[in-house]
Amino acid sequence: MTQQDKPQASTGWLVYMIEASDQRLYTGITNNMPKRWHAHSHTKQGAKFFRGRHPKRVQYIEAEHTRSSASQREYAIKQLSRREKLKLIDQQAIDWHQRLSLPAAVEA
């Protein structure tokens, strides 16, 4: 795996989708995926979306965005149907938890 293949924890912006405990998909942006995963999983700094449900798995990441392009792409993904989002996830087919050494979700 080259440096370009692996999204960096602290440089550049990422657009990501997380599958929740109720199988819904959450889309967001960050410049530090491990820190954001921890926030969603363990703190109140995570998205309000995860109150009453829990993040289960990072399913999709797009790297190499600026803050502006990440926000625009996040908006575009949020406009997609669930079927279209699942198609993006299937096309990528990467185990992001393994690739980024993210801990497993905490079951509540």
At which residue do the structure tokens 């080259």 appear?
A: 2
Helices (H), 25-66: 33-42
- 2/69 Cα distance (integer angstroms): 23
Q: SS3 helix, strand, coil % of the chain, rounded to 5?
A: 35, 25, 40
Task: Give the CATH number of domain 13-99; options: 3.30.450, 1.10.287, 3.40.1440, 1.10.3470.
Answer: 3.40.1440
Tens-digit pLDDT profile for residues 71-93: 999 999 999 999 999 999 999 98
Tell me the average pLDDT across 36-60. 90
Q: pLDDT tens digit string along 22-36?
A: 999 999 999 999 999
Query: What pLDDT sits at residue 2?
Result: 47
